[in-house]
Protein backbone atom coordinates (compact mmCIF):
# COMPACT_ATOMS: atom_id res chain seq x y z
CA UNK A 1 0.00 0.00 0.00
CA UNK A 2 2.95 2.31 0.68
CA UNK A 3 4.20 1.77 -2.84
CA UNK A 4 0.82 2.78 -4.23
CA UNK A 5 0.68 5.84 -1.98
CA UNK A 6 4.07 6.98 -3.25
CA UNK A 7 2.98 6.47 -6.85
CA UNK A 8 -0.25 8.37 -6.19
CA UNK A 9 1.59 11.27 -4.59
CA UNK A 10 3.98 11.41 -7.53
CA UNK A 11 1.02 11.43 -9.91
CA UNK A 12 -0.60 14.25 -7.94
CA UNK A 13 2.49 16.44 -8.17
CA UNK A 14 3.03 15.67 -11.85
CA UNK A 15 -0.64 16.37 -12.61
CA UNK A 16 -0.46 19.76 -10.87
CA UNK A 17 2.60 20.75 -12.88
CA UNK A 18 1.49 19.50 -16.31
CA UNK A 19 -2.27 20.14 -16.22
CA UNK A 20 -3.28 23.04 -18.50
CA UNK A 21 -5.09 26.06 -17.05
CA UNK A 22 -8.84 26.13 -17.69
CA UNK A 23 -11.57 28.34 -16.27
CA UNK A 24 -14.29 26.38 -14.48
CA UNK A 25 -14.18 23.45 -16.91
CA UNK A 26 -14.12 19.99 -15.38
CA UNK A 27 -10.92 18.21 -16.35
CA UNK A 28 -10.30 14.60 -15.46
CA UNK A 29 -6.97 12.75 -15.48
CA UNK A 30 -7.05 9.00 -15.08
CA UNK A 31 -4.09 6.85 -14.04
CA UNK A 32 -4.40 3.06 -13.97
CA UNK A 33 -1.99 1.17 -11.71
CA UNK A 34 -1.64 -2.58 -12.23
CA UNK A 35 0.46 -5.29 -10.64
CA UNK A 36 1.58 -8.00 -13.09
CA UNK A 37 2.95 -11.46 -12.51
CA UNK A 38 6.28 -12.49 -14.02
CA UNK A 39 4.47 -13.85 -17.06
CA UNK A 40 2.61 -10.56 -17.63
CA UNK A 41 -0.81 -11.53 -16.26
CA UNK A 42 -2.55 -8.91 -14.15
CA UNK A 43 -3.57 -9.71 -10.59
CA UNK A 44 -4.56 -6.34 -9.20
CA UNK A 45 -5.62 -3.01 -10.72
CA UNK A 46 -6.35 0.29 -8.96
CA UNK A 47 -7.46 3.43 -10.79
CA UNK A 48 -6.69 6.93 -9.52
CA UNK A 49 -8.68 9.90 -10.85
CA UNK A 50 -7.96 13.59 -10.53
CA UNK A 51 -10.80 16.09 -11.00
CA UNK A 52 -9.66 19.68 -11.37
CA UNK A 53 -10.99 23.20 -12.05
CA UNK A 54 -14.16 22.59 -10.10
CA UNK A 55 -16.91 24.96 -9.02
CA UNK A 56 -18.71 24.68 -5.71
CA UNK A 57 -21.84 22.58 -5.77
CA UNK A 58 -22.76 19.34 -7.44
CA UNK A 59 -20.24 18.01 -9.99
CA UNK A 60 -21.21 15.09 -12.20
CA UNK A 61 -18.61 12.50 -13.14
CA UNK A 62 -18.56 9.15 -14.93
CA UNK A 63 -16.87 6.02 -13.61
CA UNK A 64 -17.09 2.22 -13.59
CA UNK A 65 -15.00 1.85 -10.42
CA UNK A 66 -15.99 0.05 -7.26
CA UNK A 67 -14.99 0.74 -3.66
CA UNK A 68 -14.36 4.41 -4.41
CA UNK A 69 -12.27 6.30 -1.86
CA UNK A 70 -11.72 10.08 -1.68
CA UNK A 71 -7.99 10.39 -0.89
CA UNK A 72 -7.61 14.17 -0.98
CA UNK A 73 -10.48 15.64 1.04
CA UNK A 74 -13.81 15.20 2.76
CA UNK A 75 -16.07 15.71 -0.28
CA UNK A 76 -18.90 13.20 -0.37
CA UNK A 77 -20.47 11.63 -3.41
CA UNK A 78 -23.52 9.71 -4.59
CA UNK A 79 -23.23 6.91 -7.14
CA UNK A 80 -26.04 5.68 -9.34
CA UNK A 81 -24.89 3.06 -11.85
CA UNK A 82 -21.91 4.76 -13.62
CA UNK A 83 -22.95 8.30 -12.68
CA UNK A 84 -21.00 9.84 -9.82
CA UNK A 85 -22.17 13.13 -8.25
CA UNK A 86 -19.70 14.97 -5.99
CA UNK A 87 -20.57 17.69 -3.51
CA UNK A 88 -17.70 19.96 -4.58
CA UNK A 89 -16.16 22.64 -2.39
CA UNK A 90 -14.20 24.10 -5.32
CA UNK A 91 -11.04 22.12 -4.55
CA UNK A 92 -9.40 19.43 -6.69
CA UNK A 93 -10.66 15.95 -5.94
CA UNK A 94 -8.47 12.86 -5.99
CA UNK A 95 -10.18 9.53 -5.66
CA UNK A 96 -9.34 5.93 -6.39
CA UNK A 97 -11.24 2.72 -6.92
CA UNK A 98 -10.94 -0.87 -8.00
CA UNK A 99 -11.85 -2.67 -11.22
CA UNK A 100 -11.57 -6.17 -12.58
CA UNK A 101 -11.71 -4.92 -16.14
CA UNK A 102 -9.11 -6.39 -18.49
CA UNK A 103 -6.33 -4.00 -19.50
CA UNK A 104 -6.41 -2.76 -23.14
CA UNK A 105 -2.81 -3.93 -23.64
CA UNK A 106 -2.28 -7.59 -22.90
CA UNK A 107 1.27 -8.45 -21.81
CA UNK A 108 2.93 -11.86 -22.31
CA UNK A 109 6.47 -12.43 -20.98
CA UNK A 110 8.61 -15.44 -21.91
CA UNK A 111 12.04 -16.30 -20.42
CA UNK A 112 14.85 -18.30 -22.03
CA UNK A 113 18.07 -19.69 -20.61
CA UNK A 114 20.56 -20.72 -23.30
CA UNK A 115 17.78 -20.67 -25.92
CA UNK A 116 15.56 -22.99 -23.83
CA UNK A 117 12.24 -21.64 -22.53
CA UNK A 118 12.02 -21.66 -18.76
CA UNK A 119 9.95 -20.21 -15.95
CA UNK A 120 11.48 -17.47 -13.78
CA UNK A 121 11.67 -19.83 -10.81
CA UNK A 122 13.64 -22.38 -12.88
CA UNK A 123 16.43 -19.97 -13.80
CA UNK A 124 16.79 -17.94 -10.59
CA UNK A 125 20.47 -17.93 -9.58
CA UNK A 126 21.53 -19.67 -12.81
CA UNK A 127 24.30 -18.50 -15.14
CA UNK A 128 24.12 -18.36 -18.95
CA UNK A 129 22.58 -16.50 -21.87
CA UNK A 130 19.29 -14.90 -20.87
CA UNK A 131 16.59 -13.73 -23.25
CA UNK A 132 13.40 -12.03 -22.07
CA UNK A 133 10.65 -11.59 -24.67
CA UNK A 134 7.82 -9.19 -23.84
CA UNK A 135 4.93 -9.33 -26.29
CA UNK A 136 2.22 -6.66 -26.19
CA UNK A 137 -1.18 -7.27 -27.76
CA UNK A 138 -3.54 -4.38 -28.38
CA UNK A 139 -7.07 -5.52 -27.59
CA UNK A 140 -8.95 -2.36 -28.64
CA UNK A 141 -9.85 -3.34 -32.20
CA UNK A 142 -12.12 -0.98 -34.17
CA UNK A 143 -13.89 -1.33 -37.52
CA UNK A 144 -13.51 1.99 -39.36
CA UNK A 145 -14.91 2.92 -42.77
CA UNK A 146 -12.04 4.39 -44.84
CA UNK A 147 -12.56 5.27 -48.52
CA UNK A 148 -15.70 3.14 -48.62
CA UNK A 149 -13.97 0.05 -47.17
CA UNK A 150 -14.22 -1.43 -43.67
CA UNK A 151 -10.75 -1.39 -42.12
CA UNK A 152 -9.43 -2.91 -38.88
CA UNK A 153 -7.73 -0.23 -36.79
CA UNK A 154 -6.49 -0.48 -33.24
CA UNK A 155 -6.75 2.40 -30.79
CA UNK A 156 -3.13 3.61 -30.83
CA UNK A 157 -1.02 3.14 -27.72
CA UNK A 158 2.60 3.91 -26.93
CA UNK A 159 4.10 1.66 -24.25
CA UNK A 160 7.42 2.34 -22.55
CA UNK A 161 9.27 -0.30 -20.53
CA UNK A 162 11.97 0.40 -17.97
CA UNK A 163 14.12 -1.76 -15.70
CA UNK A 164 17.68 -2.09 -14.42
CA UNK A 165 20.42 -4.73 -14.25
CA UNK A 166 23.54 -4.63 -12.10
CA UNK A 167 26.81 -4.54 -14.01
CA UNK A 168 28.58 -6.93 -11.65
CA UNK A 169 26.65 -10.04 -12.67
CA UNK A 170 25.38 -9.03 -16.15
CA UNK A 171 27.03 -7.94 -19.41
CA UNK A 172 26.57 -7.68 -23.21
CA UNK A 173 23.06 -6.35 -22.77
CA UNK A 174 21.03 -5.78 -25.94
CA UNK A 175 17.46 -4.62 -26.62
CA UNK A 176 15.66 -4.53 -30.00
CA UNK A 177 13.33 -1.52 -29.59
CA UNK A 178 15.11 0.60 -27.06
CA UNK A 179 18.37 1.66 -25.52
CA UNK A 180 20.77 0.46 -22.84
CA UNK A 181 22.60 3.07 -20.76
CA UNK A 182 25.42 2.17 -18.37
CA UNK A 183 25.78 4.24 -15.18
CA UNK A 184 28.74 2.39 -13.65
CA UNK A 185 27.24 0.01 -11.14
CA UNK A 186 24.11 -0.73 -13.17
CA UNK A 187 22.50 -0.60 -16.57
CA UNK A 188 19.31 1.30 -17.26
CA UNK A 189 17.19 -0.41 -19.93
CA UNK A 190 14.49 1.54 -21.76
CA UNK A 191 12.18 0.02 -24.42
CA UNK A 192 9.48 1.57 -26.56
CA UNK A 193 6.62 -0.13 -28.45
CA UNK A 194 3.34 0.75 -30.12
CA UNK A 195 1.23 -2.42 -30.06
CA UNK A 196 -1.35 -2.67 -32.85
CA UNK A 197 0.26 0.00 -35.04
CA UNK A 198 1.64 -2.55 -37.52
CA UNK A 199 -1.74 -4.32 -37.73
CA UNK A 200 -3.39 -0.95 -38.46
CA UNK A 201 -0.99 0.38 -41.11
CA UNK A 202 0.55 -2.86 -42.48
CA UNK A 203 3.93 -1.15 -42.86
CA UNK A 204 6.80 -3.61 -42.75
CA UNK A 205 8.95 -1.10 -40.86
CA UNK A 206 6.51 -1.32 -37.91
CA UNK A 207 6.36 -5.11 -37.83
CA UNK A 208 8.44 -5.52 -34.66
CA UNK A 209 6.77 -2.75 -32.63
CA UNK A 210 4.64 -5.26 -30.69
CA UNK A 211 7.64 -6.78 -28.93
CA UNK A 212 10.59 -5.93 -26.75
CA UNK A 213 13.40 -8.47 -26.49
CA UNK A 214 16.18 -8.13 -23.93
CA UNK A 215 19.19 -10.44 -24.13
CA UNK A 216 22.35 -10.56 -21.98
CA UNK A 217 24.85 -12.81 -20.24
CA UNK A 218 24.51 -13.39 -16.49
CA UNK A 219 26.40 -15.21 -13.76
CA UNK A 220 23.51 -15.08 -11.30
CA UNK A 221 20.06 -14.50 -12.74
CA UNK A 222 17.55 -12.41 -10.80
CA UNK A 223 14.66 -10.29 -12.00
CA UNK A 224 14.29 -6.67 -10.98
CA UNK A 225 10.92 -5.01 -11.19
CA UNK A 226 9.96 -3.89 -14.70
CA UNK A 227 7.78 -0.84 -15.16
CA UNK A 228 5.40 -0.34 -18.07
CA UNK A 229 3.85 3.06 -18.88
CA UNK A 230 1.24 3.25 -21.66
CA UNK A 231 -0.71 6.14 -23.12
CA UNK A 232 -3.32 6.18 -25.91
CA UNK A 233 -2.35 9.69 -27.04
CA UNK A 234 -0.23 8.77 -30.06
CA UNK A 235 -1.16 11.77 -32.21
CA UNK A 236 -2.93 15.07 -31.63
CA UNK A 237 -5.22 16.77 -34.14
CA UNK A 238 -2.63 19.50 -34.79
CA UNK A 239 -0.17 16.82 -35.94
CA UNK A 240 -2.42 16.07 -38.93
CA UNK A 241 -2.14 19.43 -40.70
CA UNK A 242 0.54 18.01 -42.99
CA UNK A 243 -2.07 15.69 -44.50
CA UNK A 244 -4.03 18.68 -45.80
CA UNK A 245 -1.14 19.12 -48.24
CA UNK A 246 -1.32 15.40 -49.00
CA UNK A 247 -4.99 15.79 -50.03
CA UNK A 248 -4.05 18.64 -52.37
CA UNK A 249 -1.18 16.60 -53.84
CA UNK A 250 -3.47 13.60 -54.26
CA UNK A 251 -6.00 15.75 -56.15
CA UNK A 252 -3.27 17.18 -58.40
CA UNK A 253 -1.91 13.69 -59.01
CA UNK A 254 -5.35 12.50 -60.14
CA UNK A 255 -5.58 15.44 -62.55
CA UNK A 256 -2.08 14.66 -63.89
CA UNK A 257 -3.05 11.02 -64.43
CA UNK A 258 -6.20 12.02 -66.33
CA UNK A 259 -4.25 14.42 -68.58
CA UNK A 260 -1.54 11.81 -69.14
CA UNK A 261 -4.19 9.30 -70.22
CA UNK A 262 -5.55 11.87 -72.67
CA UNK A 263 -2.03 12.51 -74.00
CA UNK A 264 -1.43 8.80 -74.46
CA UNK A 265 -4.75 8.43 -76.27
CA UNK A 266 -3.97 11.43 -78.50
CA UNK A 267 -0.53 10.03 -79.33
CA UNK A 268 -2.11 6.73 -80.37
CA UNK A 269 -4.65 8.53 -82.54
CA UNK A 270 -1.84 10.56 -84.10
CA UNK A 271 0.07 7.34 -84.84
CA UNK A 272 -3.03 5.82 -86.45
CA UNK A 273 -3.52 8.97 -88.54
CA UNK A 274 0.13 8.94 -89.60
CA UNK A 275 -0.21 5.30 -90.65
CA UNK A 276 -3.23 6.17 -92.76
CA UNK A 277 -1.43 9.17 -94.32
CA UNK A 278 1.53 6.95 -95.13
CA UNK A 279 -0.78 4.44 -96.79
CA UNK A 280 -2.66 7.23 -98.62
CA UNK A 281 0.49 8.82 -100.03
CA UNK A 282 1.52 5.45 -101.43
CA UNK A 283 -1.84 5.11 -103.15
CA UNK A 284 -1.54 8.70 -104.45
CA UNK A 285 1.87 7.96 -105.94
CA UNK A 286 0.54 4.82 -107.58
CA UNK A 287 -2.36 6.85 -109.00
CA UNK A 288 -0.02 9.51 -110.40
CA UNK A 289 2.12 6.76 -111.92
CA UNK A 290 -0.97 5.29 -113.60
CA UNK A 291 -1.93 8.75 -114.89
CA UNK A 292 1.55 9.22 -116.29
CA UNK A 293 1.33 5.89 -118.08
CA UNK A 294 -2.05 6.91 -119.52
CA UNK A 295 -0.65 10.22 -120.81
CA UNK A 296 2.17 8.36 -122.52
CA UNK A 297 -0.34 6.15 -124.28
CA UNK A 298 -2.52 9.16 -125.19
CA UNK A 299 0.52 10.93 -126.56
CA UNK A 300 1.26 7.97 -128.78
CA UNK A 301 -2.33 8.14 -130.03
CA UNK A 302 -2.05 11.89 -130.66
CA UNK A 303 1.10 11.38 -132.72
CA UNK A 304 -0.59 8.70 -134.71
CA UNK A 305 -3.61 11.02 -135.22
CA UNK A 306 -1.35 13.81 -136.43
CA UNK A 307 0.41 11.50 -138.83
CA UNK A 308 -2.89 10.12 -140.01
CA UNK A 309 -4.32 13.57 -140.74
CA UNK A 310 -1.23 14.52 -142.66
CA UNK A 311 -1.67 11.42 -144.78
CA UNK A 312 -5.44 11.83 -145.05
CA UNK A 313 -5.63 15.39 -146.41
CA UNK A 314 -3.97 14.64 -149.78
CA UNK A 315 -6.53 11.97 -150.34
CA UNK A 316 -9.59 14.16 -149.82
CA UNK A 317 -10.00 14.68 -153.47
CA UNK A 318 -10.16 10.97 -153.97
CA UNK A 319 -12.69 10.68 -151.15
CA UNK A 320 -14.85 13.35 -152.72
CA UNK A 321 -15.07 11.38 -155.88
CA UNK A 322 -15.95 8.24 -153.96
CA UNK A 323 -18.62 10.03 -151.85
CA UNK A 324 -20.32 11.27 -154.95
CA UNK A 325 -20.98 7.67 -155.80
CA UNK A 326 -22.24 6.74 -152.27
CA UNK A 327 -25.79 7.15 -150.91
CA UNK A 328 -25.01 9.42 -147.95
CA UNK A 329 -28.63 9.76 -146.80
CA UNK A 330 -28.55 6.32 -145.14
CA UNK A 331 -25.27 7.18 -143.48
CA UNK A 332 -26.75 10.35 -142.01
CA UNK A 333 -29.65 8.32 -140.57
CA UNK A 334 -27.17 5.89 -138.99
CA UNK A 335 -25.32 8.81 -137.42
CA UNK A 336 -28.60 10.11 -135.95
CA UNK A 337 -29.36 6.66 -134.52
CA UNK A 338 -25.90 6.52 -132.96
CA UNK A 339 -26.43 9.97 -131.44
CA UNK A 340 -29.80 8.89 -129.98
CA UNK A 341 -28.17 5.81 -128.49
CA UNK A 342 -25.45 7.99 -127.00
CA UNK A 343 -28.07 10.32 -125.46
CA UNK A 344 -29.87 7.35 -123.92
CA UNK A 345 -26.59 6.18 -122.38
CA UNK A 346 -25.79 9.73 -121.20
CA UNK A 347 -29.21 10.02 -119.48
CA UNK A 348 -28.76 6.64 -117.79
CA UNK A 349 -25.26 7.48 -116.54
CA UNK A 350 -26.41 10.93 -115.42
CA UNK A 351 -29.26 9.40 -113.38
CA UNK A 352 -26.79 6.94 -111.85
CA UNK A 353 -24.44 9.76 -110.89
CA UNK A 354 -27.32 11.80 -109.44
CA UNK A 355 -28.25 8.82 -107.25
CA UNK A 356 -24.62 8.41 -106.18
CA UNK A 357 -24.42 12.12 -105.37
CA UNK A 358 -27.57 11.89 -103.22
CA UNK A 359 -26.10 8.84 -101.44
CA UNK A 360 -22.95 10.85 -100.66
CA UNK A 361 -25.01 13.77 -99.37
CA UNK A 362 -26.88 11.43 -97.00
CA UNK A 363 -23.46 10.62 -95.48
CA UNK A 364 -22.43 14.29 -95.33
CA UNK A 365 -19.95 13.77 -98.20
CA UNK A 366 -19.43 15.68 -101.43
CA UNK A 367 -18.90 13.36 -104.41
CA UNK A 368 -17.69 16.26 -106.58
CA UNK A 369 -14.63 16.83 -104.37
CA UNK A 370 -11.17 15.91 -105.54
CA UNK A 371 -10.08 12.43 -104.55
CA UNK A 372 -7.54 13.63 -101.96
CA UNK A 373 -10.09 15.95 -100.30
CA UNK A 374 -12.60 13.09 -100.18
CA UNK A 375 -9.93 10.84 -98.68
CA UNK A 376 -9.35 13.38 -95.89
CA UNK A 377 -13.11 13.44 -95.12
CA UNK A 378 -13.21 9.63 -95.06
CA UNK A 379 -10.15 9.43 -92.81
CA UNK A 380 -11.83 11.81 -90.33
CA UNK A 381 -15.05 9.77 -90.45
CA UNK A 382 -13.07 6.58 -89.92
CA UNK A 383 -11.23 8.10 -86.95
CA UNK A 384 -14.46 9.24 -85.29
CA UNK A 385 -16.03 5.84 -85.89
CA UNK A 386 -18.96 7.10 -88.01
CA UNK A 387 -17.89 4.64 -90.74
CA UNK A 388 -15.80 1.50 -90.77
CA UNK A 389 -13.16 0.26 -93.22
CA UNK A 390 -15.71 -1.69 -95.29
CA UNK A 391 -17.98 1.35 -95.66
CA UNK A 392 -14.95 3.43 -96.59
CA UNK A 393 -14.01 1.01 -99.38
CA UNK A 394 -17.62 1.00 -100.63
CA UNK A 395 -17.65 4.80 -100.74
CA UNK A 396 -14.36 4.83 -102.67
CA UNK A 397 -15.81 2.33 -105.18
CA UNK A 398 -18.87 4.59 -105.58
CA UNK A 399 -16.55 7.55 -106.13
CA UNK A 400 -14.63 5.63 -108.81
CA UNK A 401 -17.95 4.67 -110.47
CA UNK A 402 -19.07 8.30 -110.37
CA UNK A 403 -15.80 9.56 -111.90
CA UNK A 404 -15.86 6.77 -114.49
CA UNK A 405 -19.45 7.60 -115.44
CA UNK A 406 -18.54 11.27 -115.65
CA UNK A 407 -15.64 10.52 -117.95
CA UNK A 408 -17.88 8.26 -120.06
CA UNK A 409 -20.51 11.02 -120.28
CA UNK A 410 -17.82 13.44 -121.44
CA UNK A 411 -16.63 10.96 -124.02
CA UNK A 412 -20.20 10.32 -125.20
CA UNK A 413 -20.80 14.06 -125.44
CA UNK A 414 -17.63 14.37 -127.45
CA UNK A 415 -18.79 11.43 -129.51
CA UNK A 416 -22.15 13.13 -130.09
CA UNK A 417 -20.35 16.27 -131.01
CA UNK A 418 -18.27 14.32 -133.47
CA UNK A 419 -21.42 12.62 -134.81
CA UNK A 420 -23.09 15.99 -135.23
CA UNK A 421 -20.03 17.32 -136.96
CA UNK A 422 -19.89 14.29 -139.20
CA UNK A 423 -23.60 14.59 -139.92
CA UNK A 424 -23.23 18.25 -140.66
CA UNK A 425 -20.19 17.47 -142.75
CA UNK A 426 -22.05 14.85 -144.73
CA UNK A 427 -24.98 17.18 -145.19
CA UNK A 428 -22.58 19.87 -146.19
CA UNK A 429 -20.95 17.44 -148.58
CA UNK A 430 -24.34 16.57 -150.04
CA UNK A 431 -25.51 20.16 -150.34
CA UNK A 432 -22.20 21.79 -150.92
CA UNK A 433 -19.99 19.46 -152.89
CA UNK A 434 -18.75 22.55 -154.57
CA UNK A 435 -17.46 23.82 -151.26
CA UNK A 436 -14.98 20.94 -150.89
CA UNK A 437 -12.04 23.28 -150.79
CA UNK A 438 -13.35 25.00 -147.73
CA UNK A 439 -13.86 21.64 -146.01
CA UNK A 440 -10.32 20.75 -146.87
CA UNK A 441 -9.23 23.90 -145.01
CA UNK A 442 -11.25 22.70 -142.02
CA UNK A 443 -9.41 19.40 -142.09
CA UNK A 444 -6.14 21.24 -142.29
CA UNK A 445 -7.23 23.20 -139.22
CA UNK A 446 -8.00 19.89 -137.51
CA UNK A 447 -4.52 18.74 -138.41
CA UNK A 448 -3.13 21.90 -136.84
CA UNK A 449 -5.25 21.22 -133.71
CA UNK A 450 -3.77 17.76 -133.52
CA UNK A 451 -0.32 19.30 -133.50
CA UNK A 452 -1.40 21.62 -130.64
CA UNK A 453 -2.86 18.60 -128.81
CA UNK A 454 0.41 16.77 -129.20
CA UNK A 455 2.30 19.79 -127.82
CA UNK A 456 -0.15 20.10 -124.90
CA UNK A 457 0.28 16.43 -124.07
CA UNK A 458 4.03 16.91 -123.95
CA UNK A 459 3.61 19.75 -121.46
CA UNK A 460 1.10 17.73 -119.42
CA UNK A 461 3.52 14.81 -119.33
CA UNK A 462 6.27 17.06 -117.93
CA UNK A 463 3.91 18.41 -115.25
CA UNK A 464 2.68 14.99 -114.16
CA UNK A 465 6.27 13.73 -114.10
CA UNK A 466 7.18 16.51 -111.68
CA UNK A 467 4.08 15.66 -109.60
CA UNK A 468 5.22 12.05 -109.47
CA UNK A 469 8.67 13.09 -108.24
CA UNK A 470 7.06 15.32 -105.59
CA UNK A 471 4.84 12.43 -104.48
CA UNK A 472 7.92 10.29 -103.89
CA UNK A 473 9.27 13.04 -101.60
CA UNK A 474 5.86 13.08 -99.88
CA UNK A 475 6.08 9.31 -99.35
CA UNK A 476 9.45 9.72 -97.65
CA UNK A 477 8.13 12.52 -95.45
CA UNK A 478 4.98 10.63 -94.51
CA UNK A 479 7.10 7.58 -93.68
CA UNK A 480 9.22 9.68 -91.32
CA UNK A 481 6.06 11.22 -89.85
CA UNK A 482 4.64 7.72 -89.34
CA UNK A 483 7.85 6.58 -87.65
CA UNK A 484 7.96 9.65 -85.40
CA UNK A 485 4.28 9.38 -84.47
CA UNK A 486 4.67 5.70 -83.56
CA UNK A 487 7.75 6.53 -81.45
CA UNK A 488 5.80 9.31 -79.72
CA UNK A 489 2.91 6.93 -79.03
CA UNK A 490 5.21 4.24 -77.64
CA UNK A 491 7.08 6.81 -75.54
CA UNK A 492 3.84 8.25 -74.14
CA UNK A 493 2.60 4.77 -73.25
CA UNK A 494 5.90 3.84 -71.59
CA UNK A 495 6.06 7.12 -69.66
CA UNK A 496 2.46 6.68 -68.51
CA UNK A 497 2.87 3.04 -67.51
CA UNK A 498 6.35 3.22 -65.99
CA UNK A 499 6.18 6.75 -64.60
CA UNK A 500 2.86 8.48 -64.06
CA UNK A 501 0.79 5.36 -63.25
CA UNK A 502 3.39 4.09 -60.76
CA UNK A 503 3.66 7.54 -59.16
CA UNK A 504 -0.13 7.70 -59.00
CA UNK A 505 -0.25 4.24 -57.37
CA UNK A 506 2.34 5.38 -54.81
CA UNK A 507 0.24 8.48 -54.16
CA UNK A 508 -2.90 6.39 -53.71
CA UNK A 509 -1.02 4.12 -51.29
CA UNK A 510 0.36 7.12 -49.38
CA UNK A 511 -3.11 8.67 -49.33
CA UNK A 512 -4.49 5.47 -47.79
CA UNK A 513 -1.82 5.66 -45.06
CA UNK A 514 -2.63 9.31 -44.38
CA UNK A 515 -6.34 8.44 -44.10
CA UNK A 516 -5.50 5.62 -41.69
CA UNK A 517 -3.22 7.83 -39.60
CA UNK A 518 -5.93 10.47 -39.43
CA UNK A 519 -8.40 7.78 -38.33
CA UNK A 520 -5.88 6.61 -35.69
CA UNK A 521 -5.62 10.15 -34.38
CA UNK A 522 -9.40 10.32 -34.15
CA UNK A 523 -9.42 7.01 -32.25
CA UNK A 524 -6.76 8.36 -29.92
CA UNK A 525 -8.74 11.53 -29.31
CA UNK A 526 -12.01 9.65 -28.81
CA UNK A 527 -10.53 7.31 -26.15
CA UNK A 528 -11.92 8.93 -22.99
CA UNK A 529 -10.86 6.54 -20.29
CA UNK A 530 -10.32 3.02 -19.07
CA UNK A 531 -12.90 3.03 -16.29
CA UNK A 532 -14.79 6.14 -17.40
CA UNK A 533 -15.93 8.03 -20.47
CA UNK A 534 -14.89 11.59 -19.66
CA UNK A 535 -11.14 11.49 -19.00
CA UNK A 536 -8.83 13.85 -20.87
CA UNK A 537 -5.47 12.31 -19.98
CA UNK A 538 -5.13 8.54 -19.47
CA UNK A 539 -1.97 6.76 -18.36
CA UNK A 540 -1.44 3.09 -17.58
CA UNK A 541 1.32 2.23 -15.10
CA UNK A 542 2.09 -1.46 -14.61
CA UNK A 543 4.70 -3.09 -12.39
CA UNK A 544 6.02 -6.57 -13.16
CA UNK A 545 7.07 -7.96 -9.83
CA UNK A 546 10.68 -8.84 -9.18
CA UNK A 547 12.00 -12.33 -8.49
CA UNK A 548 15.10 -13.10 -6.44
CA UNK A 549 16.50 -16.03 -4.52
CA UNK A 550 15.44 -15.98 -0.90
CA UNK A 551 18.26 -16.88 1.45
CA UNK A 552 17.30 -18.62 4.66
CA UNK A 553 19.32 -18.07 7.83
pLDDT higher than 60, residue 280: yes
- What is the b/e burial string over 375-392, where b = at least 16 CB atoms within 10 angstroms of the residue's CB? bebbbebbeeeebeeeee
CA distance 316 to 436: 9
- pLDDT over threshold 70, residue 277: no
By the 8 A CB rule, do 196 and 519 touch? no
CA distance 117 to 212: 16
CATH code of 105-231, in short, is 2.60.40.2960
How far is residue 143 CA from its own chain's centroid?
28
Distance CA 475, CA 289 (A): 13
**CA separation for the pair 319, 313 (Å, rounded):** 10
Looking at the predicted structure, is the pLDDT value of residue 164 above 90?
Answer: yes
Ranges of CATH 2.60.40.2960 domains, the chain:
105-231
Residue 4 above 50 pLDDT?
no
Measured distance CA(451)–CA(457) in Å, rounded: 10
The boundaries of every CATH 1.10.287 domain in the chain are: 253-509
Give the pairing of strands 128-138 and 105-113.
antiparallel
Instruction: Pick 52 or 204 by higher pLDDT.
Output: 52
Rounded Cα gap, residues 260 and 254, in angstroms:
10
Q: Mean pLDDT across the chain, nearest whole number?
A: 78
Report field, pTM of the whole predicted structure over 0.75: no
Nearest of 219, 223, 299 to residue 459 by alpha carbon:
299
Taking the alpha carbons at both ends of the chain, their separation in whole angstroms is 28
Of 206-215, 358-367, 529-538, the least confident? 358-367
For 7-15, the CB contacts below 8 A with 24+ separation are 7/33, 7/541, 8/48, 8/71, 8/94, 8/96, 11/48, 11/50, 12/50, 12/72, 12/94, 15/50, 15/52
CATH number attached to the domain at 253-509? 1.10.287
**Residue-level pLDDT at 24:** 44
Question: Exposed, middle or buried by CB within 10 Å (0-12, 13-18, 19+), for 142?
Answer: middle
- What is the Rg, in whole angstroms, of the alpha carbon atoms belonging to the chain? 53
Range in 36-50, 61-75, 350-364, 526-540 the model is least confident about: 350-364
| Mean pLDDT for the stretch of residues 480-507 | 62
Residue 469, CB half-sphere, CA atoms under 13 Å: how many? 6
What's the mean pLDDT in 394-411? Answer: 82
Are 516 and 146 spatial neighbours (Cβ–Cβ below 8 Å)? yes
Q: What is the mean pLDDT of residues 331-343?
A: 78
453 CA to centre of own chain = 67
Dihedral angle computed from the Cα positions of residues 397, 402, 406 and 409, in that order, rounded to the nearest 10 degrees: 100
Pairing between strand 27-36 and 537-544? parallel
The CATH number of domain 2-98 is 2.60.40:
yes
21: pLDDT strictly greater than 70:
no
Look at 163 and 330; give whichever has higher pLDDT: 163
- Between CA 311 and CA 114 the distance in angstroms is 128
- Range picked from 159-163, 213-217, 357-361, 427-431 for highest mean pLDDT: 213-217
Amino acid sequence: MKKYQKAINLTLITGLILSPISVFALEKNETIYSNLNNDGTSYKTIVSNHLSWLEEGEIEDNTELKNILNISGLEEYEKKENKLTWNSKGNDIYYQGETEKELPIKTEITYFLNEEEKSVEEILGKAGNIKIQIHFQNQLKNFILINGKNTDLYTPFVTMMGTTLNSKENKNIQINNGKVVGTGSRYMIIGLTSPGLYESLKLKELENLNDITISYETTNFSLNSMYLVSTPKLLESNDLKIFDKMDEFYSNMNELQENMNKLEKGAKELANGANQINHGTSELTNGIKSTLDGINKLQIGANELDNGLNQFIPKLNQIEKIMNNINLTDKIKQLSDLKDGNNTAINSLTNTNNNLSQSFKSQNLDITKQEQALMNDLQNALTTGSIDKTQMNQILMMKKTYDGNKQTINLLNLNNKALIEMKDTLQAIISQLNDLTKKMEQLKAAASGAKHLNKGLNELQIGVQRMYQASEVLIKGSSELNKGANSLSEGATTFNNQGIKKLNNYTISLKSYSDKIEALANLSESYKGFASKNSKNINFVSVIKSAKIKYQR
